[in-house]
Amino acid sequence: MGRKKSYRYKDVRNRERVLFPALCGVDPICLKPSWPVDLLKPEQGVVLELGCGKGEYTLALAERYPEKNFIGVDLKSDRLWVAATKAMEKGLENVWFVRARIDHLSAYFPKNFAEAIWIPFPDPAPGNHSGRKRLTSPRFLEIYRDFLKPCGIVRCKTDHEGLYSFTLDNLFSAGARLRRAVEDLHASDIDDPDIVGIESHFEKEFRKKGISVKFMEFYLE
Ligand SMILES: C[S@@+](CC[C@H](N)C(=O)[O-])C[C@H]1O[C@@H](n2cnc3c(N)ncnc32)[C@H](O)[C@@H]1O
Protein backbone atom coordinates (compact mmCIF):
# COMPACT_ATOMS: atom_id res chain seq x y z
CA MET A 1 0.00 0.00 0.00
CA GLY A 2 1.34 3.45 -0.92
CA ARG A 3 2.14 6.02 1.77
CA LYS A 4 -0.83 8.25 0.93
CA LYS A 5 -3.27 5.35 1.00
CA SER A 6 -1.93 3.98 4.25
CA TYR A 7 -2.12 7.46 5.86
CA ARG A 8 -5.76 7.74 4.78
CA TYR A 9 -6.58 4.27 6.11
CA LYS A 10 -5.41 5.34 9.58
CA ASP A 11 -6.58 8.94 9.49
CA VAL A 12 -10.12 8.10 8.38
CA ARG A 13 -10.91 7.38 12.04
CA ASN A 14 -10.20 11.03 12.85
CA ARG A 15 -12.46 12.30 10.08
CA GLU A 16 -15.73 13.78 11.11
CA ARG A 17 -18.81 12.26 9.53
CA VAL A 18 -17.40 8.74 9.05
CA LEU A 19 -19.18 6.08 11.09
CA PHE A 20 -17.84 2.62 11.85
CA PRO A 21 -20.72 0.36 12.78
CA ALA A 22 -20.31 -2.35 15.35
CA LEU A 23 -19.75 -5.29 13.04
CA CYS A 24 -16.56 -3.66 11.78
CA GLY A 25 -15.22 -3.77 15.32
CA VAL A 26 -14.29 -0.10 15.52
CA ASP A 27 -16.13 2.68 17.35
CA PRO A 28 -19.37 0.74 17.66
CA ILE A 29 -22.33 2.88 16.82
CA CYS A 30 -25.78 1.43 17.05
CA LEU A 31 -27.89 2.81 14.26
CA LYS A 32 -30.91 0.71 15.20
CA PRO A 33 -33.71 1.01 16.16
CA SER A 34 -33.29 4.66 15.27
CA TRP A 35 -30.46 7.02 14.49
CA PRO A 36 -29.37 9.35 17.26
CA VAL A 37 -31.23 12.56 16.46
CA ASP A 38 -28.09 14.62 16.72
CA LEU A 39 -26.75 12.65 13.75
CA LEU A 40 -29.66 13.05 11.39
CA LYS A 41 -33.37 13.49 11.20
CA PRO A 42 -34.77 10.58 9.15
CA GLU A 43 -38.20 12.20 8.89
CA GLN A 44 -36.60 14.74 6.53
CA GLY A 45 -35.64 11.97 4.12
CA VAL A 46 -32.58 9.75 3.85
CA VAL A 47 -30.84 8.99 0.56
CA LEU A 48 -28.13 6.32 0.33
CA GLU A 49 -25.24 5.90 -2.08
CA LEU A 50 -24.00 2.31 -2.00
CA GLY A 51 -20.42 1.56 -3.03
CA CYS A 52 -19.93 5.33 -2.90
CA GLY A 53 -16.14 5.32 -3.39
CA LYS A 54 -15.13 8.99 -3.10
CA GLY A 55 -18.77 9.96 -2.65
CA GLU A 56 -19.35 12.22 -5.66
CA TYR A 57 -23.07 11.45 -5.69
CA THR A 58 -23.55 11.92 -1.96
CA LEU A 59 -21.67 15.23 -1.99
CA ALA A 60 -23.40 16.68 -5.05
CA LEU A 61 -26.91 15.67 -3.91
CA ALA A 62 -26.26 16.98 -0.39
CA GLU A 63 -25.39 20.38 -1.81
CA ARG A 64 -28.53 20.40 -3.95
CA TYR A 65 -30.88 19.24 -1.19
CA PRO A 66 -29.68 20.70 2.12
CA GLU A 67 -32.91 19.71 3.88
CA LYS A 68 -32.33 15.97 3.31
CA ASN A 69 -29.79 13.52 4.77
CA PHE A 70 -27.26 11.69 2.58
CA ILE A 71 -25.26 8.62 3.54
CA GLY A 72 -22.50 7.07 1.46
CA VAL A 73 -21.46 3.49 2.23
CA ASP A 74 -18.27 1.77 1.19
CA LEU A 75 -15.70 -0.65 2.55
CA LYS A 76 -12.67 1.24 1.32
CA SER A 77 -11.45 3.61 4.01
CA ASP A 78 -9.07 5.57 1.79
CA ARG A 79 -11.92 6.48 -0.58
CA LEU A 80 -14.17 7.43 2.34
CA TRP A 81 -11.36 9.63 3.66
CA VAL A 82 -11.44 11.60 0.40
CA ALA A 83 -15.24 11.84 0.53
CA ALA A 84 -15.34 12.95 4.17
CA THR A 85 -12.57 15.49 3.62
CA LYS A 86 -14.52 17.05 0.75
CA ALA A 87 -17.69 17.14 2.87
CA MET A 88 -15.74 18.99 5.57
CA GLU A 89 -14.22 21.44 3.07
CA LYS A 90 -17.68 22.16 1.66
CA GLY A 91 -19.12 22.58 5.16
CA LEU A 92 -21.83 19.98 4.51
CA GLU A 93 -23.73 19.05 7.63
CA ASN A 94 -26.26 16.71 6.03
CA VAL A 95 -23.74 14.07 4.92
CA TRP A 96 -22.48 10.90 6.58
CA PHE A 97 -20.27 8.08 5.42
CA VAL A 98 -20.50 4.57 6.79
CA ARG A 99 -17.54 2.25 6.48
CA ALA A 100 -19.28 -1.11 6.26
CA ARG A 101 -20.11 -4.05 4.08
CA ILE A 102 -23.30 -3.36 2.21
CA ASP A 103 -24.19 -7.03 2.91
CA HIS A 104 -24.58 -6.05 6.60
CA LEU A 105 -26.65 -2.91 6.24
CA SER A 106 -29.94 -4.36 7.40
CA ALA A 107 -28.24 -4.88 10.77
CA TYR A 108 -27.66 -1.12 11.03
CA PHE A 109 -30.50 0.65 9.29
CA PRO A 110 -34.06 0.55 10.61
CA LYS A 111 -37.05 -0.38 8.48
CA ASN A 112 -38.58 2.35 6.29
CA PHE A 113 -35.37 4.29 6.62
CA ALA A 114 -34.34 5.36 3.12
CA GLU A 115 -36.39 6.98 0.38
CA ALA A 116 -33.86 6.34 -2.40
CA ILE A 117 -30.75 4.32 -3.13
CA TRP A 118 -28.13 5.25 -5.71
CA ILE A 119 -25.70 2.58 -6.93
CA PRO A 120 -23.27 4.27 -9.30
CA PHE A 121 -21.01 1.82 -11.12
CA PRO A 122 -21.14 -1.26 -8.90
CA ASP A 123 -18.27 -3.70 -9.38
CA PRO A 124 -19.23 -6.03 -12.25
CA ALA A 125 -17.50 -8.97 -10.46
CA PRO A 126 -17.02 -10.90 -13.72
CA GLY A 127 -15.32 -13.90 -12.05
CA ASN A 128 -18.23 -14.36 -9.66
CA HIS A 129 -20.39 -16.59 -11.85
CA SER A 130 -23.40 -16.80 -9.54
CA GLY A 131 -23.46 -12.98 -9.39
CA ARG A 132 -23.96 -13.10 -5.60
CA LYS A 133 -21.39 -10.38 -5.01
CA ARG A 134 -23.03 -7.96 -7.41
CA LEU A 135 -24.82 -5.14 -5.64
CA THR A 136 -27.89 -5.72 -7.83
CA SER A 137 -28.14 -9.49 -7.23
CA PRO A 138 -31.36 -10.89 -5.69
CA ARG A 139 -29.53 -11.27 -2.37
CA PHE A 140 -28.69 -7.55 -2.24
CA LEU A 141 -32.12 -6.44 -3.46
CA GLU A 142 -33.62 -8.36 -0.54
CA ILE A 143 -31.27 -6.53 1.85
CA TYR A 144 -32.29 -3.13 0.41
CA ARG A 145 -35.95 -4.00 0.82
CA ASP A 146 -35.32 -4.23 4.58
CA PHE A 147 -34.60 -0.51 5.00
CA LEU A 148 -36.03 1.10 1.86
CA LYS A 149 -39.44 2.75 2.17
CA PRO A 150 -42.20 0.88 0.25
CA CYS A 151 -42.34 3.59 -2.40
CA GLY A 152 -38.55 3.94 -2.39
CA ILE A 153 -36.58 3.95 -5.61
CA VAL A 154 -33.26 2.39 -6.64
CA ARG A 155 -31.10 4.00 -9.34
CA CYS A 156 -28.11 2.27 -10.84
CA LYS A 157 -25.59 3.34 -13.46
CA THR A 158 -23.14 0.97 -15.07
CA ASP A 159 -20.75 0.72 -17.99
CA HIS A 160 -21.07 -3.07 -17.97
CA GLU A 161 -23.46 -4.81 -20.36
CA GLY A 162 -23.37 -8.05 -18.37
CA LEU A 163 -24.31 -6.30 -15.13
CA TYR A 164 -27.02 -4.31 -16.92
CA SER A 165 -28.77 -7.39 -18.32
CA PHE A 166 -28.14 -9.39 -15.13
CA THR A 167 -29.92 -6.69 -13.10
CA LEU A 168 -32.88 -6.40 -15.46
CA ASP A 169 -33.23 -10.20 -15.50
CA ASN A 170 -33.38 -10.26 -11.68
CA LEU A 171 -35.98 -7.57 -11.20
CA PHE A 172 -39.04 -9.67 -11.94
CA SER A 173 -38.12 -12.52 -9.57
CA ALA A 174 -37.16 -9.95 -6.92
CA GLY A 175 -40.64 -8.44 -7.12
CA ALA A 176 -39.27 -5.10 -8.33
CA ARG A 177 -41.05 -2.76 -10.72
CA LEU A 178 -38.93 -1.24 -13.47
CA ARG A 179 -39.56 2.45 -14.06
CA ARG A 180 -37.10 2.89 -16.90
CA ALA A 181 -33.85 1.53 -18.28
CA VAL A 182 -31.65 2.91 -21.05
CA GLU A 183 -28.48 1.57 -22.64
CA ASP A 184 -27.00 4.97 -23.41
CA LEU A 185 -28.02 7.48 -20.78
CA HIS A 186 -26.34 10.50 -22.31
CA ALA A 187 -27.96 9.87 -25.69
CA SER A 188 -31.38 9.26 -24.15
CA ASP A 189 -34.21 11.69 -23.45
CA ILE A 190 -33.63 11.54 -19.68
CA ASP A 191 -32.85 15.06 -18.58
CA ASP A 192 -33.24 14.86 -14.79
CA PRO A 193 -30.22 16.84 -13.53
CA ASP A 194 -29.68 14.41 -10.64
CA ILE A 195 -29.30 11.58 -13.13
CA VAL A 196 -27.42 13.18 -16.02
CA GLY A 197 -25.86 16.17 -14.26
CA ILE A 198 -23.84 14.34 -11.60
CA GLU A 199 -20.95 12.10 -12.57
CA SER A 200 -19.10 9.78 -10.24
CA HIS A 201 -15.38 9.17 -10.57
CA PHE A 202 -15.96 5.97 -12.56
CA GLU A 203 -18.55 7.63 -14.78
CA LYS A 204 -16.07 10.34 -15.78
CA GLU A 205 -13.41 7.72 -16.53
CA PHE A 206 -15.72 5.60 -18.68
CA ARG A 207 -17.09 8.58 -20.58
CA LYS A 208 -13.57 9.81 -21.33
CA LYS A 209 -12.99 6.43 -23.00
CA GLY A 210 -16.21 6.79 -25.00
CA ILE A 211 -17.99 3.99 -23.13
CA SER A 212 -21.75 4.48 -22.86
CA VAL A 213 -23.46 4.65 -19.49
CA LYS A 214 -26.40 2.34 -18.87
CA PHE A 215 -29.05 3.43 -16.41
CA MET A 216 -31.80 1.60 -14.55
CA GLU A 217 -34.42 2.88 -12.16
CA PHE A 218 -36.80 0.61 -10.26
CA TYR A 219 -39.07 0.35 -7.23
CA LEU A 220 -38.64 -2.42 -4.68
CA GLU A 221 -42.23 -2.91 -3.58
C1 LIG B 1 -16.35 0.39 -9.18
S2 LIG B 1 -16.31 1.23 -7.63
C3 LIG B 1 -17.41 2.59 -7.93
C4 LIG B 1 -17.18 3.74 -7.00
C5 LIG B 1 -18.12 4.93 -7.21
N6 LIG B 1 -19.51 4.55 -7.02
C7 LIG B 1 -17.96 5.52 -8.59
O8 LIG B 1 -18.87 5.35 -9.43
O9 LIG B 1 -16.95 6.19 -8.84
C10 LIG B 1 -17.28 0.15 -6.62
C11 LIG B 1 -17.22 0.50 -5.13
O12 LIG B 1 -18.10 -0.38 -4.43
C13 LIG B 1 -17.48 -0.77 -3.21
N14 LIG B 1 -18.08 -2.08 -2.82
C15 LIG B 1 -18.25 -3.16 -3.62
N16 LIG B 1 -18.86 -4.15 -2.93
C17 LIG B 1 -19.06 -3.67 -1.66
C18 LIG B 1 -19.66 -4.23 -0.48
N19 LIG B 1 -20.16 -5.45 -0.48
N20 LIG B 1 -19.69 -3.45 0.63
C21 LIG B 1 -19.18 -2.19 0.62
N22 LIG B 1 -18.62 -1.61 -0.47
C23 LIG B 1 -18.56 -2.34 -1.60
C24 LIG B 1 -16.00 -0.86 -3.55
O25 LIG B 1 -15.20 -0.74 -2.38
C26 LIG B 1 -15.83 0.32 -4.52
O27 LIG B 1 -15.45 1.52 -3.86
Residue pLDDT, tens place only, 131-151: 889 999 999 999 999 999 998
Question: Given a cut of 60, is residue 220 above it in pLDDT?
Answer: yes
24-48 pLDDT tens trace: 444 445 554 455 556 666 677 899 9
Question: Given a cut of 90, is residue 108 above it in pLDDT?
Answer: no
Q: What pLDDT, on a 0 to 100 scale, did the predictor assign at position 4?
A: 86
In a mutational test of the pocket of ligand 1, which residue from 5, 99, 101, 121 has the highest number of ligand atoms less than 8 Å from its CB? 121
Residues of the domain holding 103: 3-220
The alpha carbon of 211 and the centre of ligand 1 are apart by a number of angstroms equal to 19
The alpha carbon of 101 and the centre of ligand 1 are apart by a number of angstroms equal to 10
Based on the residue annotation, tell me whether 192 is a catalytic residue of this protein.
Answer: no
Partner residues linked to 72 by β-bridges: 49, 97
Question: Half-sphere exposure of residue 76, counting CA atoms within 13 Å on the CB side?
Answer: 12
Q: Which CATH number belongs to the domain containing residue 87 in this structure?
A: 3.40.50.150
Structural domains counted in the chain:
1
Greater model confidence, 28 or 81: 81
Instruction: Report the nearest atom of ligand 1 relative to the CA of 79.
Output: 27
